Amino acid sequence: MKNVLTFVLLSAIAGIAQVPSSPLTSPQIQDAIAKGKQYRTRDRYLDGGIKAQKIRLAGAFAGDGISKYLIFFTDYDIVAAAAADAAHQMREFSDVDAKNLPLSGLTLVNVQLHARGDFPVRRLQQHFIGQNLHLVLQIGNTVIQPVARSDVRDSGVMPADGPLVVRYWTNGNTSLITTDRLGFSAERIEVEFAFQIPPEIAAAKAKAILIDGEGKHYVDEVDLAKIRHVLQ
């Protein structure tokens, strides 16, 4: 079954060479830069600027001892967070700098899991590492699968001109939004998924479903209209 899922995922990744470049216009990029500069640091932007785009599937007192958080973000947030970083370091940050970022036009989700205690750490290792962990979005009866994820490396399937976001993950292995190292480390996992959401349902309410290695679902609702890929 895992081989089938891997084949489907790699086939999806191969197809995203057709994903258009970032839909952000120059005014939208300038707006994102101005938004980011309102915050003193990247962390403050993550705490305040995208508060409505965070989902807590399970907090510090989760029954299995593993907290589970999702951060939904888009090109707008990548630009704004980078501008906040620049403001923190008293650097200039221009439209040209923004356009050099790995912008893709995709909706991305940062997944953070943190285990507390010996048993939760063992469970994290057994049921959440690699292909054991999966994320989908469900809108009505439609399930939207990710077109890419940060922990699947290029094995010759990805075209050389594939989206910058995937090459960024492959080469840097760091989060597009938090800049933290992706993968498993001690008691923590951080991984990112990319989704291509059709415009006709881009403002809908969806279920975010995180699935572990036992097939258990962790579910909460996300209002896609609050995510900045729906830009006015």
CA dist 3 to 7, 123, 183, 193, 203, Å? 6, 23, 21, 19, 34
The pLDDT of residue 159 is 42
DSSP-H helix ranges across 115-178: 118-127, 164-172
Question: Does residue 21 belong to any structural domain of this protein?
Answer: yes
Question: Does residue 232 belong to any structural domain of this protein?
Answer: no
Q: Stretch 104-125: mean pLDDT, rounded?
A: 86
Question: Does residue 125 belong to any structural domain of this protein?
Answer: yes
Q: Which domain covers residue 162, as residue numbers?
A: 2-226
Question: Does residue 198 belong to any structural domain of this protein?
Answer: yes
Q: Tell me the percentage of the chain whose pLDDT exceeds 70.
A: 81
In this predicted model, what pLDDT tens digit does every residue of 128-168 receive, in sequence order?
887 789 999 999 899 999 988 887 654 343 444 446 787 88
Question: Does residue 231 belong to any structural domain of this protein?
Answer: no
Question: Does residue 91 belong to any structural domain of this protein?
Answer: yes
Give the model's confidence band at 10: pLDDT under 50 very low, under 70 low, under 90 confident, else very high: very low
pTM beyond 0.95: the answer is no
Question: Does residue 95 belong to any structural domain of this protein?
Answer: yes
The pLDDT of residue 160 is 45
The pLDDT of residue 1 is 40
In this predicted model, what pLDDT tens digit does every residue of 21-33 receive, in sequence order?
556 899 999 999 9
Question: Does residue 89 belong to any structural domain of this protein?
Answer: yes
Overall number of domains in the chain: 1
Average pLDDT, the chain: 81
